[in-house]
Structure 1
Amino acid sequence: MADLRLLGPVEIRSDGRLLDTGTAKQQAVLAVLLLDADRPVPVDTLIGRVWGDAPPPTARGTLQAHLSRIRRTLTGVADLEHRAGAYRLRVDRDDVDLYRARRLVADSRTGGVADERRAELLRTAAGSWRGEPLSGLDGAWFGRMRETLLRQRLDILAEWAGVALRLGDAGAVVDVLGPVHTDEPLVEPVAEALMRALAATGREAEALTVYDTFRRGLADALGADPSTGMQRLYREILAGDPAPRPAPPAGPRPAQLPGDLGALFSGRTEQLGRLDKALGAASLVVVSGAAGVGKTSLVVRWARGVADRFPDGQLHTNLLGHSPGPSAEPRGVLRRFLTALGVDARRIPAGQDELVDLYRSMLADRRVLVVLDNARDADQVRPLLPGSAASLVVVTSRNQLPGLIAAEGAVPLPLDEPSHGEALDLLARRLGAERVAAEPAAVDRVVRLCDRLPLALSVFAAGAALRPEHPLTALADALAATPGRLDALDLGDDSTDVRAAFSWSYAALGADAQRLYRLVGLHPGPEVSLAAAADLTGWPEPRTRRALTELTRAHLLTEPVPARYGCHDLLREHAAELAADTDTPADRDAALARLLDGYLHTAHAAAVLLDTHREQLVAPPVHPRADTPAPLADHGAALTWLTTEYPNLLAALHLCARRHLDRYTWHLAWCLYPLYYNRGHWTEQVNAQQLALAAAQRRDDTHCAAYSEHALAVSYQRLDRRDEALDRFRNAIALYDRLDDPASRARVHYSLAWLHTTDEEYEQAIEQARLGLQYDTGTGRGRALETIGWGEIQLGRPTDAIASLTGAVDIYREQANRNGEAAATDSLGDAYTAAGDHATAITCYQRAVDLTAELGDRYHEALCRHNLGIAYHRAGRTDDARAALTASLAILDAIGHADAAHVRATLTTLDPPVPAAQPSSP
């Protein structure tokens, strides 16, 4: 039997025998593989984690030797595989103490587990720690992991304490948490649980002392006050009230479920019961059925009823699997989920594999309900599945998704139309029991004509509600007499005609609402804003708003958030058919052009606000309406608008590319560039710029083609696709030479310099930056000098670096480019540090702190404060160092960034030498 241990010294036991794990470095390599057990770890990642940011030249060869010895040691215990530049340790995760502990925690959160068993599981999980995790392993990465693993144990103990207190075992909580609190007095969940336990055993004075220790320690370390919950508990104990029951664990608890969709729901007792049985027995359920059958309403109704069974929250997304625009990409959904789980945007990686790893790590010890609505296929769903069984995923789809059932063990729940009685109940709730009871034959006929589909029934009921004076018999006759059929819901029964229901509701609308409904069918994206609807029609917003209100009241549109409107896929298809039948091609083309001009007008302004120094090759279009929307106020407003409208802009980009609307295609990709760049969405950037390049080539627009070649090169570089990046860089240079555009060519050389910098080819980086200076007309000289200075620091030439970076700061200041000035000033501090001039380095770092604070750039302010603290420490000013590092830590904690663990560790070891500051990248 194998026992692989990380939660203490790194050890391997086989059948009770301790195996030789080798030197500390070999143990470090083994630990990295075990922490990612059964997942591939790239060689570069292994080297970076074991040797840090500056590995020795021999690191790769030494790594191979360690891996060979590890493979021999693990013979009969685990298999070490090597494939595609990565190593994977094939091992049963139950053989690894960390994963055993996580499984115990997940088991404890399974529905139906009694508190006695839950407490036992949590206590056993916490007992898996045998001291300091990864003890004896040095390096910044292991320090951060050690901090994370220690905190996980404290969280488990706090959760166990909450269960033990419910069981009345307050004495055990005091015995266990008392020593823990002494060692870790600033961990709030531990302090809170200990206070409750002391109060429950009649030791109120000691409980108040725990609070006072926590409060003073928090104020000294972070300058912060206890949370509102802690303060409330203190007051209750002070007043002599019984200690309240333990609060749920602190931290983000997403609650993303939509509101109850009662209009489309009735009965479904059997299906609700089957979903109830899945609790605790399954980790994945697939609800499948025809469009409009009520899948979403069923799942949302059930999920809202069991939300309290998932103490760590609920995640929800519409995957747009059967929408006219592009389906939701797993990468984008993962980013939104990670943000909801409290991960700071700057910690969220770019690559899908890394996103999946982080997402599954975040959910490893949590019990979360995940609802994935409207899935396209199994491949869209798989990256969104948690790695542990503690959480439950419910998927809805028009497809059965047999791949998930076969490979992932999903429980299938096919959903047919509701029963006749349930359909009658739905109409009775919408139209009133008296009206339905008065005309039972007409109501029966409506149910048959709508084929019991909840969506069609809801649309019919909305129309009937708008005509209360009309007998249901007459309305049923009108529904039966309406020609046409919605192909997607043709179930082979001539008595069912869902299109008739939609068309009848449409006929009841006023002229403005009818026209807007048709034009919404032309919109390529998943949502329509008030402004976009006004652009489609060309009307002022007040007139458009009145038509939208009429459509929402008729349930032909929904308004999930104010002034943003959604449309069910089937209704959108119906609207597009009506537009094709009613409006001339010229009218439809004009509406689409107004929509695209409206999007581009604002998107162009937003892109410029995000990057004021961008090259503007095309002018923004004139807004299509006289009542032009108010301009975006600032950088924050621009980012918010682009983020909100991104799905619509992306859908518009693809529509324009398909139709060869080349001017729009290129311009939309240009507008999306800064959003992708700032977020590191390099794959999406490649996709967009490929469409833009093809559009520019069709238009024979050399300047736009050169821009797209350069944008593609930068994106390929960030994706580590070096050869493709170099090809695109060469293409861009050739095109700019043909245009005789030296300034643009200079920008390409600066990007090439950064490529060499990332490959640690500093001499080549400096050469490219200087080559760019030969072509530069002035706007990019600061960037060039900053790149040169950073390379000179790395090459051990601090005097040269000081001169270069001083020049960069001066240029940025003249250009009023405060972002550039802040980065170059921080790097200038690194240069003075390398030269041993700590006093001047402190001045530089303080200036960088001031600039980033003025810009509201919290993350980089924290990094600059960290560098300032290190400089103070080197200068022997320990108190100032502690103050700067404490301020850095407070910011990183506030934004939930992983770098907080590194700063916290540095604070605890101020007296010994601290790590050298890392220079800022240009």
Structure 2
Amino acid sequence: MEFRLLGSVAVVTESGDVPLGPVKRATLLAVLLLRPNTPVSVDRLTEALWEHEPPLHFKTVVQGHVSRLRALLAEHGAREYGVELATHGAAYELQMPESLADAHRFEELVGLARVQRRPADTVRMLREALACWQGPALTGTVRSGPLEAAAAGLEDLRLSAVEALAQAYGQLGEHGRAAAVLRTEAVAHPLRESLAAALMLALGRSGRQSDALNWYHRTRRLLSEELGVDPGDALTDAYATLLKAAEPAESAVTPAPQAPPAAETSVPELLPRPPRGFTGRRAELAALTAAVDGADAPVCLVTGPAGVGKTAFALHWAYQRRADFPDGRLFADLRGFSDTPAPDAGTVLREFLLALGVPAPRVPETAAARGALFRSLTEGRRLLVVLDNARSSEQVRPLLPGGDHCATLVTSRDRLGGLVASDAARPVPLGHLPAADSAALLASVLGEDRVAAEPAAAERLAGLCDGLPLALRVTAARLAGRPQWTLAAMGHELADEQGRLALLNVEDTGVSAALRLTVQQLPEPAARMFRALGLHTGSDLDRFAASALAGTTPAQASADLDRLAAAHLLTESVPGRWTPHDLVRLYARHLAPQADPEGLRRLLDHYLYTGLAADAAAEPGSQPCYSLPADAHRPASTREFEDRSAAFAWYEAERPALEGAVAAAAALGLHDRAWRLALVQWPLMLWRITDGWTPLLEAGLASAEHVGDLDAQSRTCALLGWILHEEGRDTEALVHLERAPALAAGAGDAISEAIAHVNLGAVLGGMGQTGRAGELMSRAVALADRTGHPATQVLALQHLARHCLTSGQYAAALAHTARAAPLVSPHAAVGRAELQILRGEALAGLGRVAEAADQFRSATRAADAAGFTEGSERAAQLLSRLAAGR
């Protein structure tokens, strides 16, 4: 447990931030943390919470916040850390080890830095101290006099630490670094003269005399304009020093040697044995070499999912580059993703100090002192430190060596963005092995002849193992123990998803075990999200679907998905959509029984709500293809679609998940959801009509028949019949199309009945039955007029106009298009383009060529604007034929 004041006020546990609730509760906690182990009176708390105007029952409000805060601390195991919120009459006391508060650790490190004799140690202490800050102190609290004064005091301490850090850099002769540290703060605090003076001297000593003098004049002007005062002694002295180009005496201080003689000659070698059978990774090895060679004191971060071979990669590189680190190689398994407890920093530092030759009696007692000695001993050495299996940036920072010639190699399943931000760690991500390297790995265990005999089977095994070295090694181990088995036979076994994870385990080693340890270390919200992903019906998802699965908000879902991506359990395949690798997806399914059982139902209802929104954007003004079930669960938030293209992009992305949702709904007996989900992509179906929609609609029809919903059956039959017709299966199409009108009439839905007549008439017309087709079209127009639904009226009139065109009734066709034109929705660009094409054809048939050409041009522009490529091409073709006199 950790308490944070240096940034947003927070209580942080292994599971993440504890939700504190209202701002006043966070403020109350901040006041108690500012005076730990000291009773704070209700009056002082009241002053901080309300300053001059507390409410009538302020004591009751304070008691309520204290009670809830006490419950939150107890709920998250505060007693285990020695934390208790005690009551002393009219006062409260937060009893705790002060080391749990970041403000205390900051002040302690600053105090230690003051007594260091070596500037290098001072630098490292102060950098550690400043790393405690994550933003302005006491963020998220009430703006009151006491809190603002406390925040200002902490900020003053921070600025003093920055000035001390710059001074230490100056003592090391690193004046450029000193200037870089000071410049940011001097810009943010332009009236702090001590900062400006220190920056001026640092700039001057780094050869930037002109910049230094300009900074003096800038500050002098600001002091005069803002405060009406002249520069003080610090600023004027620095200016005089610059003018004389004289260095201050303190820059000549020589750091005192600290390392014990025994450590100077000890060359540690803590690397485990080199990995056997290592293959591939040439590009990644080159990237790591470039990262190490390209910086002083480089920190390199090898990241990737469980089982991708990070440890083997790091050790292979370390053994390749042993000669570059003649002063030794240190290694520590930080067990960040392990069943066994992770070693604390003090334990690891003790091992490092002993390896460096420090006698056991001389190893300091505290972790902070051990860290300081470790950094002193590594100053000036060429040493490699490998920190394997790190869980967090905080776990790594105390173990970083001193000096510019040491390199640190960290491996982690997490991206450790904090280490990248605070210590300029350079990421070297490891992906899954390509097929050729996977085959080479198998050959290293099985022998080249056995793999070369079945190259296609070896490639299939690589795919089934997701290119994951751990999975490939387990597979190779199984094959090595079964010389009579072929690679193809093993591939057949692994193809069964139900048993694949079990086959990829050998004793206590395997994919499931590795993934279990990764998930085990996640904060609970992210772990809950991972379990929920096992319920998902597709291969990838967005934050809205994730929100439905986990029963949370899209914002929280996005944070949880990012956390899973940081742990390499997901990849953000395209912006806003997350995908697990196949083996991770199978493991999530394995955990699905532990997920919220309502998650799948929420997902289905999320798709129902979102589908209606997409349909409205894709076909503005059209009748919704279903009404929502009475018991549908409204999502926390429904995605909005700006236009038709956004809706179609969603259909495309979600198509596999929607098809899976239909099957899942039917399997659960939720047939009222299944038929609706089968219809929801109808705009995409009509756009890409021969794209294999028949099985999905047949499944939807079966569910509609199961629940006995006549309107659902009519709608599905009408769409299915039309698609079968477009596929050239007219006999099958007519079976469904002939049923649709009667089913709609039985349901009493005139809109569905009109659409059913249109579809049947269009197909019959295409088959040469023009008489009946005309009757059906006229009947459809009459039904549509009775409903008064513009989109249905436009559809019926368009088809009747087309029927008239095919029979040479150009005047009638023109009349129908004229009647339909004012009914088209202003947002229905595709419908407007189609109508203009029909109107142009009618005018051309009547010999009104110029007017027809105008219609075709307008249709081309409208179709292009809507992304309606087929319509644009057709209009352009008709215009070309018109121009040619045909």
If the TM-score is normalised by the length of the shorter chain, which range does it land in? Answer: 0.3 to 0.5
Bigger radius of gyration, 1 or 2?
Answer: 2
Q: TM-score of the superposition, structure 1-length normalised?
A: 0.42
